[in-house]
Structure 1
Amino acid sequence: MSFNKQKGKSIAFTELGSRFSEEISRIRGGENIRKCFQCGTCVASCPVRAIDDEYNPRKIIRMAILGMRERVLSSDFIWLCSACYTCHQRCPQEVKITDVMEVLKNLAVKEGYIHPSLIMQAELIGNLGRLYAIEEFDNRRRIKIGLPLVHPKCDEIVQLFEVTGLVKLVYEREKESK
């Protein structure tokens, strides 16, 4: 579910509550979420907002504070944060919005809201050890400028994905979607 699909959707009182923001504030990175007074500094300085005027970190934070757990965690928008830390640097209340977005993403994954882009990236990294295949052309260019060759597959990263359970998580998600 994305915010675009929720546009104009009314908010049921039963959706609201303080438990969600309390939960976020107990997780490292989300401690100051309830200090947000909705000044809009994060929105004004956000490079993603400059490209997509629907993206609104202030709205995401507000919805989290109001306790709109399912809407926030199922939203496409929590995945759009570029982690540039501009809002983090400029927030007068030191909310650390970039860290809050990471907390929200982690909670979303724990609850089964895994964005398709994360699955695609995890599959690529799980199979190749990186986000893209290393071609012979890439290695020839590296040799020309005096850099060492890059091996086509990075087994250590694949092992890390297996140890952390990410491979299993992606596999289960793919199975559910079929």
Structure 2
Amino acid sequence: MEMEPYQRETTKRLSLGDKRGLAFSEEILNHLEAKNISACFMCRTCSSSCPVAALEGGFDPLRLIRMCLYGLWEDVLNEPTLWLCTSCYACQERCPQNIKIADFITLLKNSAMKKGDPPAGVKAQREIIIQAGRVYPIDDFDNKKRAKMGLPELPTTCDVVARLIGGK
């Protein structure tokens, strides 16, 4: 796939001093989520809109974007705060440059997962989903609560989901 001129320029900026940076930059920039990441003029609207940043001082969407713009791919993929984003889209909805910030952070999380180095909590959730088909198990108690609210029962097992993603 041929890169647009803005993507070629961004690729140059994103691969400063990182041997893996150029290939990774091209891989990332082929995604719609990264389309205009270099348009960020660092107004901090994303950071000031973020409810997680308000509660957890270490999380800063702008910081993650800047790390990417400086080609610090290994650092951003190993950044523990990357996983704090709840994908509420407040940053994305308010960005004056229409950067898909929440989608871009999800793309970074997916890249970190492919690299195989997510935090222990994410690994544990992945294993539970592979084994059980969902993170939160449903039992008879849950179905009784659902029945009282007029909701249909849910199956207590998700064997189909577990099989689809390679579980037992």
TM-score range, shorter chain: 0.7 to 0.9
Whichever residue aligns with residue 91 of structure 1, its letter is: C
| Counterpart selection for 2:162 from 145, 158, 170 | 158
| Counterpart selection for 1:26 from 30, 33, 36 | 30
Q: Give unpaired runs (5+ residues) of structure 1.
A: 1-12, 168-178
> Across the two proteins, how many residue pairs are aligned to each other?
151
8 Å Cα contact 2:52-2:59 kept in structure 1: yes
Identity of aligned residues (%): 41
Q: Give unpaired runs (5+ residues) of structure 2.
A: 1-15
8 Å Cα contact 1:30-1:96 kept in structure 2: yes
**What SS does the aligned partner of 1:124 have?**
helix
Matched residues in 2 for 1:65 and 1:52: separation?
A: 23
Relative to structure 1, the CA distance from residue 122 to residue 18 in structure 2 (aligned partners, 3 Å threshold; closer, same or farther) is closer
Shift of 1:64: 0.4
| Counterpart selection for 1:117 from 117, 121, 126 | 121
Shift of 1:113: 2.0
Relative to structure 1, the CA distance from residue 112 to residue 74 in structure 2 (aligned partners, 3 Å threshold; closer, same or farther) is same
- 1:46 is matched with which residue? 50
Relative to structure 1, the CA distance from residue 55 to residue 61 in structure 2 (aligned partners, 3 Å threshold; closer, same or farther) is same
8 Å Cα contact 2:17-2:71 kept in structure 1: no
Coordinate RMSD, CA, aligned = 2.1
Matched residues in 2 for 1:94 and 1:17: separation?
A: 28
Relative to structure 1, the CA distance from residue 45 to residue 16 in structure 2 (aligned partners, 3 Å threshold; closer, same or farther) is farther
- 2:67 is matched with which residue? 63
**What SS does the aligned partner of 1:29 have?**
helix
Relative to structure 1, the CA distance from residue 37 to residue 18 in structure 2 (aligned partners, 3 Å threshold; closer, same or farther) is farther
Shift of 1:32: 1.2
- 1:103 is matched with which residue? 107
Relative CO higher for 1 or 2, CA cutoff 8 Å, sep ≥ 6? 1
| TM-score (ref. length: structure 1) | 0.77
Shift of 1:53: 1.0
Whichever residue aligns with residue 65 of structure 2, its letter is: I
Matched residues in 1 for 2:146 and 2:60: separation?
A: 40
Shift of 1:119: 1.2
- 1:4 is matched with which residue? none
| TM-score (ref. length: structure 2) | 0.81
8 Å Cα contact 1:29-1:103 kept in structure 2: yes
- 2:4 is matched with which residue? none
